[in-house]
Structure 1
Amino acid sequence: MSEESPRRTTALTRRLTAPNPGPMTLDGTNSWLIGSPGQQDVVVVDPGPADRGHLTALAAAGRTVLTLVTHRHGDHTGAVADFHALTGAPVRAFLPEFCRDADPLRDGETIEAAGCRIRVLHTPGHTSDSVCFHLPDDAPEGRRPGEGDGSVLTGDTVLGRGTTMLDHPDGALGDYLRSLHRLAVLGRAIVLPAHADVREHVEEVCEELLEHRMDRLAEVREALRVLGRAATLEAITDRIYTDVPPHVLPAARRSVGAQLAYLGF
């Protein structure tokens, strides 16, 4: 069953988690509502899977004036058509096939809606169409907008815990590393991820993720040294991911594939 109502997370955002927990979605997919305090208008980010209860709760939380999508995966876009029909609000995504009555998102543009400024950042890596949404005027809960360092809705580019899967070949490690560097420039902005809980200080989080990716690359290089340059993707993945449950191995293989491509294999 979906949560009954969104939970306040920052001065300008609330979160409603869809009832789709799992190995890849963690606690479920977070739908975000953006809106200035005291306004009925809201922007919804990632309506999530096609769960009627979840969509009803989202629609009841305010007057949706715009829906935004962080990337193409079904746990974020499965409800696009139903939510558009329910609210009539235009939908914008980086890929035109997910847009409804609106143009695709553009890197670097600033959207003004629901009393808020929303800056669009194209951050490929998890997928080629991944975007993040920076709220420069946001603040931690309990502070007035503009009194903090802002927040950033990171989709699956930065998760609330753990590391994201690179959906190779659509997702590329080189792109992902550049996206992390781009997000790190936002400094102490609060991380509002599509899965799991809020994190503090996006610069520190991105530095941890960059270090982790460098460690993984070192492990891939070592696996190639031991197994030989002709080693299969499956053999390399099994050597590196020794404690991963079988149902997560396909995602691990895609990430290893992205690392091998980055190394020129």
Structure 2
Amino acid sequence: MTLDGTNSYVLRAPGAANAIVVDPGPDDAGHLARLASAGPVELVLITHHHADHVAGAAAFAELVGAPMRAVDPEYCAGAAPLVDGETIRAAGLALEVLHTPGHTADSACFLVQGEEGPAVLTGDTILGRGTTIIADPDGALGPYLDSLARLRALALAADAPVPVLPAHGAVLPDLAAICDAYLAHRAERLEQVRSALAELGSGASAEAVTDLVYADTDASVRQAAEASVRAQLAYLRGERG
């Protein structure tokens, strides 16, 4: 489910002495030491609370002596929680915080201005390949669709394609295009769930709907498929969350 693993990002402006680290990732001593060697680290940022992003974060923040910030106060150390729309100035950079709930309630993206224009660190809101899960009941489809629409509008307002820096998979060249693809995929899945409910009955369980809609899904991601179906059922039943 993490594709090639979790991407940790080290950010700094050209010539800046300090760095920002986004999503230190698993509690892997070698990985954390490598991140620390890119320092001094001025700030640690978390895109959301899943273990593959935060399991090593507290140890890393302590190792480098830097504050850690996230939307969820539980994953903050030495600083306040992230606030939607705020601008973080660190490591010679300006990062805008975008609270983008959906994958999880605390998911955040970061818009960073680089020498060649803006880019967006998307956490698990957008992946480098495939699509993300809606981690019901923490995540919800209604907010996720709203978050994709917000990211799409941001991308369309830019002068050039905005790169996507995801937490899993490769960098993508065009945020607007990938938002369009994600929104189309979600619409297609919703139609499939509607069709399954028409066949099975409106009270069908998530497990039964998953059997129909995700019939070809590998068993290793069955749990994720069921979580997404639960989110889709809640959305269709008017529980936008």
Query: Per the shorter chain, which TM-score range?
Result: over 0.9
Aligned position for 2:49: 72
SS of 2:193 mapped into structure 1: helix
Count matched residues: 233
Which of 175, 181, 203 does residue 176 from structure 2 map onto? 203
Cα RMSD (Å): 0.9
In structure 2, what residue type is equivalent to 1:60? S
Show the counterpart of 1:94: 71
Residue of structure 2 in register with 1:117 after alignment: 94
Could you tell me which residue of structure 2 aligns to residue 247 of structure 1?
Answer: 220
- In structure 2, stretches of 5+ residues that fail to align are 156-160
Aligned-pair CA distance for 1:164: 0.3
Q: 1:154 aligns with which of 98, 115, 122?
A: 122
Amino acid at match of 1:192: L
Aligned twin of 2:7:
30
C-alpha separation in 2, matches of 1:111 and 1:230: 46
Q: Deviations over 1:186-211 (max 9, x none)?
A: 22211000000000110111011000
- More helix, by proportion: 2
Mind listing any 5+ residue stretches in structure 1 that lack a counterpart? 1-23, 139-144
- Residue equivalent to 1:167: 135
What's the CA shift for 1:228? 1.2
Structure 2 residue identity aligned to 1:173: L
1:231 CA drift (Å): 1.8
Q: What is the CA-CA distance between 1:80 and the residue it aligns to?
A: 1.5
In the other structure, the counterpart of 2:158 is none
The reply to whether residue 228 of structure 1 matches residue 191 of structure 2 is: no
Correspondence for 2:163:
190
Q: TM-score scaled by structure 1?
A: 0.86
Match of residue 103, structure 2, among 116, 126, 136: 126
CA deviation map 1:138-191 (0-9, x unaligned): 2xxxxxx1x33x100000000000000000111010000000011112222110
* CA–CA distance in structure 2, aligned partners of residues 81 and 181 of structure 1: 32
Query: CA shift at 1:233, angstroms?
Result: 1.1
1:162 aligned partner, one-letter code: G
Kindly state the Cα deviation for residue 81 of structure 1 after the two structures are TM-superposed. 1.5
Give the partner amino acid of 2:35: L
* Residue type at the aligned position of 1:263: L
Deviations 1:37-81 (A, max 9, x none): 122210000000100000000000121000000001000010122
Percent sequence identity is: 55
CA offset digits 1:71-112 (Å, max 9, x no partner) = 010000101221012100000000111101000000000000
- Secondary structure of the corresponding residue to residue 186 of structure 1: helix
The one-character-per-residue Cα deviations of 1:212-250 (angstroms, maximum 9, x if unpaired) are 000000000000011111222111001011111112100
Q: What amino acid maps onto 1:185 in structure 2?
A: A
Matches within 5 A, 1:56-71: 56-71=33-48
Q: Which runs of 4+ in 1 moved over 4 A?
A: none
Identify the match of residue 177 of structure 1 among 142, 145, 148: 145
